[in-house]
Amino acid sequence: MSLSGIAVDHVRVEADKPFDSITKAFEQQLGRFNPEVVSQSVASGEEVEKVRAKIEAMVGSSGLMLFQTSNHGGLLHLAGQKKRAIQYVVGNPLIAVQMTQHDIKAGLYAPVRVLIYENPEGKTCVEYDKPSSLFGQFGNPKVTEVAAMLDRKLEQLVAKAIQ
């Protein structure tokens, strides 16, 4: 086993806009990933371009799609707290493969996670780790270049959600 440390750039945006408005605007920009469509297409031996087209059809206006959500606020109910917080797992398999083809370890961070929550002051916060800092640890310029593009997509997604 080996152990190494990395520096991660963490993004936190605070907005006065209500939680429900931000989460709705965030979600409206995302497509929905359907893993069954992809796995069936690959298993049936469909041509690569047909599989790629099916994935492209799942992409939202942000260039990203939603893989999963977790209601972290609901879990805090177990601790006697009433808070709203949703973790989003977002990405795009076509972007991920642009990185993993050069370094499979990039799969550790793709798709990425975004947390939207209400802070104690009632403001809505959006937080995520900047992909270029996560993927940059691999020292592969081709991976880092794609990760920088992912930085921009996330920045635009969040900016539109909070405006």
Residue 46 resides in a domain? no
Amino acid at 95: I
Report DSSP state, residue 107: G
- What phi and psi values does residue 45 have, to the nearest 5 degrees? 80, 25
* Strand runs labelled E in the chain: 10-15, 31-32, 65-71, 85-91, 112-118, 124-129
Amino acid at 19: F
* pLDDT given for residue 81 in this prediction: 72
Domain that holds residue 26: 10-33+61-162
Residue 19 resides in a domain? yes
Q: How confident is the model at residue 4 (pLDDT cuts 50, 70, 90)?
A: confident
**Cis bond leading into 141, ω under 30°?**
no
Q: What is the CATH number of the domain that holds 27?
A: 3.30.310.70
Residue 96 resides in a domain? yes
Quote the CA–CA distance of 123 and 132 in Å, as a whole number.
Answer: 27
* pLDDT given for residue 65 in this prediction: 98
Give the count of domains, the chain. 1
Residue 18 resides in a domain? yes
Please, which residues have CB within 8 angstroms of residue 86's CB and are 6 or more apart in sequence?
23, 69, 70, 71, 72, 73, 115, 116, 117
* Strand runs labelled E in 16-84: 31-32, 65-71
Handedness of CA 25, 100, 94, 135 (dihedral sign): positive
Residue 91 resides in a domain? yes
pLDDT (mean) for 72-79: 74
Residue 118 has pLDDT above 80, yes or no: yes
Both structure tokens of 142:
């081709």
Residue 98 has pLDDT above 90, yes or no: yes
Quote the CA–CA distance of 157 and 60 in Å, as a whole number.
Answer: 10
Residue 161 CB coordination number (10 Å): 25
Residue 86 resides in a domain? yes
Residue 1 resides in a domain? no
Residue 32 has pLDDT above 90, yes or no: yes
Residue 111 resides in a domain? yes
> 6-20, 30-44, 85-99, 144-158: which range is least confident on average?
30-44
Amino acid at 87: Q
Amino acid at 138: F
Q: How confident is the model at residue 66 (pLDDT cuts 50, 70, 90)?
A: very high
pLDDT (mean) for 92-105: 96
Residue 141 has pLDDT above 80, yes or no: yes
pLDDT (mean) for 128-155: 96
